[in-house]
Structure 1
Amino acid sequence: MNTMFFLLLVLSFSLIILFNLIFKPKNSKKSTGRLPPGPKGLPLIGILHQLDPTYPHLYLYNLAKKHGPLMWMKFGSRNVIAISSARVAMLALKHNDLAMAGRPALIGFKKYSYDGKDITFASYNETWREMRKMSLIHLFSVKQVVSFLPIRKEEVSRMIEEMTKKSDSSELINVSVAVFFLINRIICRAGFGKKYDEMGKRRFDEVFEETQVAITAFYFGDYFPFLGWIDKFNGALSRLDNNVKELDDFYRELIDDHLDPNRPESMNGDILDLMIKLKQDQAASVHIDWDNIKGILMNVFVAGTDTSTSLIVWAMTALIKKPQAMKKAQEEVWNVVGNKGFVDDDDIQNLPYLKAVIKETLRMFPPTPLSVPRETIQHCTIDGYDIPPKTMVYFNTHAIGLDPEYWENPTEFMPDRFLNSTIDYKGHDYGLIPFGSGRRGCPGMNFGVAGVELALANLLYSFEWKLPDGMKEQDVDMEVSPGITPRKKNDLCLVGKRYKYN
């Protein structure tokens, strides 16, 4: 089997090379215009053989140091550019946002898009615009995010109580695990009207993990159309199809539960309930079907969990490594909240240093260090270079957050840089675009950040945090797990002493 696979692979590559040599247009260089600089790749495969699939953002970051913040590359048959500075990001997003509003039809994304109808993986079309409008106005508006406050408060309180029990028994507190369960509980209740414990945690977690792997897997058909057969031969497509079916069954169960006239009251007003009402409302300005709903559930399910968990854990990790910043953050929240016993949403508006900590964490540990790729739907010009249609576009938010031309001491964790600063993460300041910008900006940003702020504020308010005995700040590892979202590889385990209010 292995010998036959190898022979077929060699034969396929040989035929493609021969086809390329015979039919390659003589004037192909002229037709593309003035392309950006970039690494020279091999015939046919480009630089795919060099790309680190585990940490592609780091590979592209180091490559940009040599070739510049706007790089042209070939990933197999695909034209690709990578943007690695705030200045070039502004030129792309402020002046060419519409030209870059498409999404490439990558197999791992397309399979989960329910025929291209969801708000993340669709091409730039009328359906996509309607879905985005619905998300911003009805699902993740400020008013709707506020309506989920009781859920956030209840689940954060539950997390603090569980941590307090460990603190009282002198156990180490695994912050990573506690935060993971917190975010899952919030998403399950706000999104689906069910408690995380009721959804079959093992099934929920296993499907989620498999989805993360399947979306980011390498598929030959994405970069070598002639080699799409390999994805079937090696079982990659079967694995992908199985996961999509599991997700579809999962969504169907959630929808059926919501359509049950005897459903629990907890489902009233959750995100799925809102979408069903919009579907049933003939007078609504947005018309959606079940595939649209499944597509948006996909976004809530996959995009919501890891990003918020990662942000809180990295914030706590950065603070524990920098005691001065931890002290400043905790003294702020203790002084503002006093002996109330819990930090409310209203208190957070009076915690500028907490907000600065979150911004600095987003800068240094963006939830998606390499953005979900865009695709140009028409020719555009960036910094004097020609970018042809059907070019895949990556924004390296990791590199942009470390851009020395935009940030002073970019490798240092310095929340103070955001005090008395108007720089924000909402897509208007191009040195800080962890949630994207423009037409492809994340519509669920407010929902995610609200949970992060409340959780982090109460973690800082409720406990005095210290490292385990014998451990120093420099001993705290910063290893990252591979994946779309860079989770901390090893759990953050700390000593948490319940703070005694005056």
Structure 2
Amino acid sequence: MELQPFALYATILIVTITLLKLSRRGRRRDLPPGPRPWPIIGNLNLMGSLPHRSIDALSKKYGHIMYLKFGSCPVFVGSSVAAAKFFLKTHDLSFVSRPRTAAGRYTTYNYSDITWSPYGAYWRQARKMCLTELFSARRLDSFEYIRVEELRRLLRDLFASSSSTVVLKDFLTTLSLNVISRMVLGKNYLQAEEGAVVTPEEFKTMLDELFFLNGVINVGDWIPSVRLLDLQGYVKRMKVLSRKFDRFLEHVVDEHNARRAAEGEGFVAKDMVDVLLQLADDPGLEIKLSRNGVKAFSQDMIAGGTESSAVTVEWALAELLRRPEILAKATEELDRVVGRERWVEERDMHNLPYIESIVKETMRLHPVAPMLVPRMSREDTSFEGYHLPAGSLVLVNVWTIGRDPEVWPQPDQFRPEQFVGRDIDVKGQDFELLPFGSGRRMCPGYNLGLKLIQASLANLLHGFEWRLPEGTTKEGLNMEEVFGLSTPKKEPLEVVVEPRLPAHMYVM
């Protein structure tokens, strides 16, 4: 019997819809497990104020490879050593790009820095400049005297504050800013002086804002239809912040160019901005480094070098104040290896395995970037039978990996001993511990960060006795964090210090 036209069209429509549904189900079954997304917003409703903890809770339910949706964007989350190795090493080149976020656009001169620039010729050139010019071992060694001078200044300032309650983060941030300012900019631009472009307090606030805005989940990034509305007000804040940084960096570049012009052929690069300006003049570069590129790189180095060391040392001392027996072991090692008549030097660190273990354990429990900087997949791949399509956001939750009971016995306890004699490093090859990331997108300045963290912590422990202020107990110490591109303590650590070395050691 022949079908009437209407019945024929209806049959074709039903068959087509059925095939589409089956096709979608088939594709969905190829994806990793994950919570069912809501229309329009996807799984953004499941992200709390601490997204790494929200995702950690979800991974306990759905597994170490998980599928989410941020708005219309597919997201894959790796929360195990195997997943981290897949994303960051085995298929590193497939996941080497970055998402095009508002933070990258507005706070890094339209993706002109090393962190947010997409994969391509410009980023490859930027990475090469970092590895061979800006963060080479030779250049870092040449700046050791700066790190020593500024660390001694910190120890002297803390000595002057003995027996009184101090906010430790203020001292640590000042140390890091002074070191990075002198290495990158050639002088301490952040000293309080008449006519300064920004005050030290303003600059610290700008850095806090930069890290916060680069780590937030901005709804407009993932739901394009509401992008112009700026529902959370983040884009407005990004634009304000970018103008403040640009005013400061314009001043820096102008001063450096003026010195170059004044010295003429006798000019010698003294800092990293000088090196960047020389590279900008190099006709052999594949992609010309613009003035905005110089400013973006400078901002990247200032921010990255400051935040990682200050945050990590603060977390380390907070943990040690909760575990006096570990603090006692650390000072015993320092007295035995270094003695009480000199300060710890960078070359001492390989003889201080327990101090190194404390640093590693702090990075395990309190990684500065708990989900690293997000990546974007450039091509289709598959992992454990799951299909991972191109154009997906990729997150590696190193916070969860650092608490994996299959890797770390008693994962929620602070136990530096587990690193003593254990061949696990932080340089991107041991996927149990990835504070600086791994692969092509690993933090290029990790060696500098590690030097600052280790030397700062060792000398602080060597030079002072530490205790909590009256009325604060180790059990009551707040260990909550604030989420952003970095994850500092929610409540800054307040401490009381007493000198433990001869008085003449603090007169420098």
Decide: shared fold, TM above 0.5. yes
**Which one is further off, 486-495 or 387-396?**
486-495
Q: Which residue of 1 is the match for residue 182 of structure 2?
A: 189
Equivalent position SS for 2:100: coil
Quote how far apart the aligned CAs of 1:93 are. Answer: 2.2
Change (3 A) 1:223 1:284: closer
Change (3 A) 1:32 1:292: farther
Do residues 240 (structure 1) and 238 (structure 2) align?
Answer: yes
Listed as ranges, the matches of 1:97-496 within 5 Å are 97-167=92-162, 170-195=163-188, 196-198=190-192, 200-231=199-230, 236-261=234-259, 268-282=269-283, 287-469=288-470, 471-496=472-497
Change (3 A) 1:474 1:350: same
CA contact (8 A) 1:193 1:268 kept: no
CA contact (8 A) 1:102 1:124 kept: yes
Which structure would you say has the larger Rg? 2
Change (3 A) 1:409 1:230: same
Equivalent position SS for 2:191: helix
Change (3 A) 1:298 1:351: same
Quote how far apart the aligned CAs of 1:189 are. Answer: 1.3
Aligned partners of 2:299 and 2:384: how far apart in 1? 36
**Gaps spanning 5+ residues in structure 1: where?**
1-21
Change (3 A) 1:174 1:114: closer
Listed as ranges, the matches of 1:27-106 within 5 Å are 27-30=23-26, 34-52=30-48, 54-106=49-101
Change (3 A) 1:68 1:235: closer
Equivalent position SS for 2:305: helix
Equivalent position SS for 2:466: strand
Aligned partners of 1:471 and 1:451: how far apart in 2? 29
Aligned partners of 2:363 and 2:226: how far apart in 1? 38
**Residue identity matched to 2:184:** G
Quote how far apart the aligned CAs of 1:471 are. Answer: 4.3
Equivalent position SS for 1:80: strand
Change (3 A) 1:387 1:453: same
Equivalent position SS for 1:37: coil
Quote how far apart the aligned CAs of 1:235 are. Answer: 5.3
Aligned partners of 1:193 and 1:28: how far apart in 2? 58
Quote how far apart the aligned CAs of 1:501 are. Answer: 5.3
**Which one is further off, 176-185 or 453-462?**
176-185
CA contact (8 A) 1:57 1:396 kept: yes
Quote how far apart the aligned CAs of 1:30 are. Answer: 4.0
**Residue identity matched to 1:228:** R
CA contact (8 A) 2:98 2:118 kept: yes
Q: Deviations over 1:256-296 (max 9, x none)?
A: 1111128899x952221121122234457885222322221
Aligned partners of 1:472 and 1:244: how far apart in 2? 41
Aligned partners of 1:261 and 1:89: how far apart in 2? 46
Equivalent position SS for 1:261: helix
Equivalent position SS for 1:98: helix
Equivalent residues, number: 476
Aligned partners of 2:463 and 2:70: how far apart in 1? 49
Aligned partners of 1:202 and 1:335: how far apart in 2? 39
Change (3 A) 1:34 1:416: same
Change (3 A) 1:256 1:268: same
CA contact (8 A) 1:33 1:386 kept: no
Change (3 A) 1:109 1:33: farther
Aligned partners of 1:163 and 1:356: how far apart in 2? 25
**Residue identity matched to 2:125:** E
Equivalent position SS for 2:430: coil
**Gaps spanning 5+ residues in structure 2: where?**
1-16, 193-197, 504-508
Quote how far apart the aligned CAs of 1:135 are. Answer: 0.3
Q: When the two structures are superposed, what TM-score results if normalisation uses the length of structure 2?
A: 0.88
Query: Percent of aligned positions with the same letter in both sequences?
Result: 33
CA contact (8 A) 1:84 1:396 kept: yes
CA contact (8 A) 2:466 2:498 kept: yes
CA contact (8 A) 1:427 1:441 kept: yes
Q: Which residue of 2 is the match for residue 7 of structure 1?
A: none
Aligned partners of 2:212 and 2:112: how far apart in 1? 22
Q: Deviations over 1:53-99 (max 9, x none)?
A: x2000000011100001110111101001111112212222211111
Q: Deviations over 1:377-433 (max 9, x none)?
A: 001112221100011001111101111111121111111111111101111111111
Equivalent position SS for 1:349: helix
Aligned partners of 2:445 and 2:211: how far apart in 1? 19
Equivalent position SS for 1:74: strand
Change (3 A) 1:229 1:115: closer
Quote how far apart the aligned CAs of 1:214 are. Answer: 3.2
Quote how far apart the aligned CAs of 1:361 are. Answer: 0.5
Quote how far apart the aligned CAs of 1:322 are. Answer: 0.9
Aligned partners of 1:286 and 1:348: how far apart in 2? 40
**Which one is further off, 219-228 or 419-428?**
219-228
Change (3 A) 1:450 1:285: farther
CA contact (8 A) 1:220 1:230 kept: no
